Structure 1
Amino acid sequence: MKKLILILIPFLLIFSCKTDKTEKDYLIKAYITGYFDGEVVLNKVRNGKLVPIDSLHMKKSKFKFKHVKITTPEMLWFVIDKGNFIIQFFADPHDMQINADYNNQGKSEVQGSKTHAEYVSFLENNSIFENKQFKINEQKDLAYLNNDTLLLKSLDSVSNSIVKEQIEYIKKYAYENNKSYVSLYLTLSNLTDYLKLPELEKIYNNFDDTLKTSPYYLELRDFIMTKKNVQIGKQAPDFSLSDSAGTSVSLSSMQDKYVLLAFSASWNGYSRKDNKNLNKLYKKFQAKDFDIYQVFAENNMRQWKNVIKSDNLNWITTSDLKGLDSEILQLYGIRKLPYYFFLNKNGIIITSGDDLNVLIPEIEIFF
């Protein structure tokens, strides 16, 4: 496993969308100690991204949004002072009051939301794992400075064990609290990156019918449907993307070869690290009907080309330059990078996963 679960403030992108007309209007007031005036943007979360739904200019440390549309409990974000201060909270279909301190982020008081109170309780219990990881990361920083590779490897193993414990805790919470919007949100935002499809479906099918109108439930349903289309034994969905020279290359054009379909990004450290192993794999088997089709989640053409050159990527590399909003990432249900699918000569998925070191032995048996 390659990353920690970030529950309190996950990395999100921002885009715009239309409001659901069936939602009702509520008032959300806030008082921010230590910050007098500035822009406030109210966001909701859709498909792992922040969606701005309203904005205003705060004066005298106070502001209020008068027509916030809420049907079911959901996570909202106040982005204040151009992102320097963020308030993340679960909003119920009620009027709400929020009190916060600009100099003490993460200690907001939210009144009028029972769902947020449940979320805070969950975070307090989850902090056990976060604190363990914090201590391990401190040791890893020191080991890195001392170039102690053996200790780093050992600490990585400990870190992965903590992540596994954390995942098990969230799984148990979601399954036991099947009427909870918090459980639904945590499943969508955290467990989709880690669970195999049968485990994820078990939790999804256990959710109570009262949650089925939640946008998070619908997103989870759609994600599961997408993942069903890219399971082992399925035909890999075909697509075409342009390489760095502007030439369109389809995945199906590579049939009659074993293909490693790699989803990566120039800005992703794990992807860059894996490029070294991809090079070794390519050099070892390229003469034996093996090839790589690499999809980069990029927005910057120059940065992408620089990585192709610096990492010596001599196979097919493509991108639609839409970053994490790429339709191809959505087609394959990619929510974290890097990720890999190994295809046989007919384009059938043989194996897949996010850990290249685990996949390499499975690939090598075919050559």
Structure 2
Amino acid sequence: MSLKYFYFLLSVIVLFSCGNEEESKEETNDQLVLNGSVMNVGDREMVYIYSSINPAEGAIDSVMLDSGKFNFVLDWQGPEAVGIQIGKQNLRFNHIILTPDTIDLFIDPQDRENPIDIKGSEVHNEFLAFQEKKNNYKAEMYDSLISEYYRADSTGTEEDKNEIRSQLTSVYDERVNLVKDYIADNPDSYIGPLLIRTELMYGKNYEQLDSLVSLVGSSQEDTKVMQYLTDRLERLQVVKTGNSAPEISQETPDGDTLKLSDFKGKYVLIDFWASWCGPCRKENPYMVKLYDRFKGEDFEIFGVSLDQNEKAWISAIEADNINWAHVSDLQGWGNEAAKKYVVNSIPHTVLIDPEGKIIASGLRGESLNTKLEEIFRKEI
């Protein structure tokens, strides 16, 4: 992972529909011819093409690599982003925008700078050009701050990290504004919703994501990426601020069933985490201090683990001294509570008031502390 993408994950992940049936629109089936050439990969490997918007749907098609070549001929509607996976080596190349044309794809996994080259897709080239512009924006400052953060994370204080994080956030926000401006200026471009999906979606609540999606023109409504974003919006609407928090009922480390509603009458912070999540574990000491400060004020933390290994889950609780309520169904990312709350990255938090209403999402660090101070100053 390049440093240029680290803070995006740090700030967003780490420090990560039904209506009335309408008359169907007339469609034309155009054809995609994708010719691939692969270097430095063993022969007779399977090559898979899949949607990079929703990889869980599985492969669209597959062919055998033959003498370093492969070919797909598919009915294709408009531009769509796909991924290419090469066999057992599990080489994956995502967000390749294909149009109903003849497109040539050149892949060399050993070329770390440019492992993939595409000819014949103007939309993809436009996407790459914008990405380069965005990534070059204040690049030296960005990379310097990332290096400073690494050092502060090892030897600095929490205040040092907060100061660097604030500067990183400022540069990151400026980059986000470049993306927003692009979408607003090009509402009928496929690249707009793709940028929301790949760069702006994670960590966004309903209101934030809705404001982004509203920038996209109606010409994109039938694309897979817009359908994905619309579906996500509908799921986020269920857990938006002001709504009742969906029930969570899972087992504790002792094997007892514990429900979120058991804590009605208190402010509850739902904390989605896992033993294998490094950023979650790093944040736990801060969470312990926070809990010790506010636990006497009708405040509880309700930890929901996305672990699959029960022993690892319990060991992490003990090692980190996180002595609040914990539950899990040990289904990893398939955790039912995580699905209900549209959790795609951890750590992730949801704050519930004593009536069981959602009052905030995604609060961490100082922003979480500030919110709790605001609540309990009013309550006391």
**Shared fold per TM-score greater than 0.5:** yes
Contact 1:72 1:92 (8 Å CA) reproduced = yes
Structure 2 partner of 1:237: 246
Is the partner of 1:287 in helix, strand or coil? coil
Contact 1:48 1:189 (8 Å CA) reproduced = no
Which among 190, 193, 208 is matched to residue 181 of structure 1? 190
Which among 100, 103, 118 is matched to residue 96 of structure 1? 103
Map 1:72-91 → 2, pairs under 5 A: 72-80=78-86, 82=88, 85-88=91-94, 89-91=96-98
Is the partner of 2:131 in helix, strand or coil? helix
Contact 1:171 1:191 (8 Å CA) reproduced = no
Paired AA for residue 72 in structure 1: G
Q: Output the TM-score relative to the length of structure 1.
A: 0.84
Aligned equivalents of 1:246, 1:28: Cα separation in 2? 53
- Aligned-residue offset at 1:347: 0.7
Structure 2 partner of 1:63: 70
Aligned equivalents of 1:345, 1:50: Cα separation in 2? 39
Which among 163, 168, 173 is matched to residue 164 of structure 1? 173
Aligned equivalents of 2:369, 2:322: Cα separation in 1? 18
Paired AA for residue 29 in structure 1: N
Structure 2 residue 59 is matched with structure 1 residue 52: yes
Aligned equivalents of 2:339, 2:111: Cα separation in 1? 37
Which among 109, 117, 128 is matched to residue 117 of structure 2? 109
Aligned equivalents of 1:325, 1:72: Cα separation in 2? 32
Structure 2 partner of 1:338: 347
Structure 2 residue 13 is matched with structure 1 residue 4: no
Map 1:1-367 → 2, pairs under 5 A: 4-5=7-8, 26-37=32-43, 38-47=45-54, 51-66=58-73, 68=74, 70-80=76-86, 82=88, 85-88=91-94, 89-105=96-112, 106-129=114-137, 131-132=139-140, 133-141=142-150, 147-149=155-157, 152-193=161-202, 195=204, 197-364=206-373, 365-366=375-376
Is the partner of 1:35 in helix, strand or coil? coil
- Aligned-residue offset at 1:199: 4.4
Q: Output the TM-score relative to the length of structure 2.
A: 0.81
Go from structure 1 to structure 2 and tell me whether the alpha carbon gap of 1:292 and 1:131 turns closer, same or farther (over 3 Å shift): same
Larger RCO: Structure 1 or Structure 2 (Cα < 8 Å, ≥ 6 residues apart)?
2
For residues 178-229 of structure 1, the C-alpha deviation after alignment (integer angstroms, 9 at most, x for no partner) is 1111111111222123556444323322322211111211221122223233
Paired AA for residue 98 in structure 2: A
Paired AA for residue 259 in structure 1: V
Go from structure 1 to structure 2 and tell me whether the alpha carbon gap of 1:71 and 1:327 turns closer, same or farther (over 3 Å shift): farther
- Aligned-residue offset at 1:334: 2.2
Aligned equivalents of 1:151, 1:342: Cα separation in 2? 27
Aligned equivalents of 1:158, 1:288: Cα separation in 2? 33
Go from structure 1 to structure 2 and tell me whether the alpha carbon gap of 1:29 and 1:206 turns closer, same or farther (over 3 Å shift): same
Contact 1:39 1:57 (8 Å CA) reproduced = yes
Contact 1:342 1:363 (8 Å CA) reproduced = no
Paired AA for residue 131 in structure 2: L
Contact 1:338 1:354 (8 Å CA) reproduced = no
Contact 1:351 1:359 (8 Å CA) reproduced = no
- Aligned-residue offset at 1:329: 2.1
Contact 1:263 1:297 (8 Å CA) reproduced = yes
- Aligned-residue offset at 1:54: 3.3
Aligned equivalents of 1:306, 1:23: Cα separation in 2? 55
Paired AA for residue 293 in structure 1: F
Tell me the C-alpha RMSD between the 2 structures.
Answer: 3.0
Aligned equivalents of 2:203, 2:247: Cα separation in 1? 25
Paired AA for residue 108 in structure 1: I
Unaligned runs of 5+ in 1: 12-21
Go from structure 1 to structure 2 and tell me whether the alpha carbon gap of 1:275 and 1:71 turns closer, same or farther (over 3 Å shift): same
Aligned equivalents of 2:252, 2:197: Cα separation in 1? 32
- Aligned-residue offset at 1:125: 0.8
Contact 1:226 1:333 (8 Å CA) reproduced = yes
